[in-house]
Amino acid sequence: MRIDSHQHFWEYSPAEYGWIRPGSVLERSYLPSGLLPELTEANIDGCIAVQARQSLVENDFLLRLASENSFIRGVVGWIDLQSDSASLQASEFASNDKAVGVRHVVQDESDPDFMKRPSFRRGISKLAKLGLVYDILVYWNQLDDAIALARDFPDQIFVLDHIAKPAIAKGILEPWRARVNTLAGLPNVCCKVSGMITEADHTNWTQEDLSPFFDVVLEAFGPSRLLFGSDWPVIKLAGEYQRFLSVVENLAAPLSQSEKAALMGLNADRIYQL
């Protein structure tokens, strides 16, 4: 089974998707009919749709798409983890078989101590018993708090999105590498090999630019805790689906067949219980 563990859908409107810059290639709707040809060409069996809005209506939207398109194997949605009703929101979301995880866009929070907030952590504490994974979306300089969060909730499964967005365009490994190694030392954390080319030079990136960063997460997490993710359609800011997929497969070439199969889908199937 080959699974794309990270992609997005939206019906574009400026009010709903204020993070999309005017004039961007992302400034239009992206729906399952647009992704399916990419998956078919890549011989990928299914995908996990990840929230792009911090709203409960996002859950309904993505779960509806999943009910209409069998190749959408799971949904990582959003709940207000700081709310007094976080437990109820999580329970209602988790009652759908396609609901597999939740995410908060911590990278955009202005409070540098957001992950330390008792209200946020109280919400995190509700997820494990419901079988929901938590996707960590942070920049590399927020990794220390992500490490503390994962360490303090050892029963919660965490998945690091986009390898924590290191400075690939500048080729700077440290201190990102040291922090990733610390995070990977926690057995309840996995990592998505996704979002890499959008952190590289959008117009001139090469496989050689990505290779040192891929090698770091491969050594840190091992093949059993890495998941391929395209980040479609955001990937279009810097390249195309098939090119990034080919680069990941090239970088993974030294792995055994079983290790490649784990990276390209079996890990996502197991971790998110698809």
263-266 long-range contacts, CB within 8 A, separation 24+? 263/193, 263/223, 263/226, 263/227, 263/228, 264/2, 264/3, 264/228, 265/1, 265/2, 265/3, 265/44, 265/45, 265/228, 266/1
Give the pTM: 0.97
Please name each of the domains of the chain with its CATH number.
3-271 (3.20.20.140)
| 146 pLDDT tier (thresholds 50, 70, 90) | very high
Closest to 264 in 3D by CA, of 74, 44, 76: 44
Q: How far apart are CA 217 and CA 140, in angstroms?
A: 13
pLDDT at 148: 98
85-110 pLDDT per residue, tens: 999 999 999 999 999 999 999 999 99
Number of helices followed by number of strands (H, E) in the chain: 10, 8
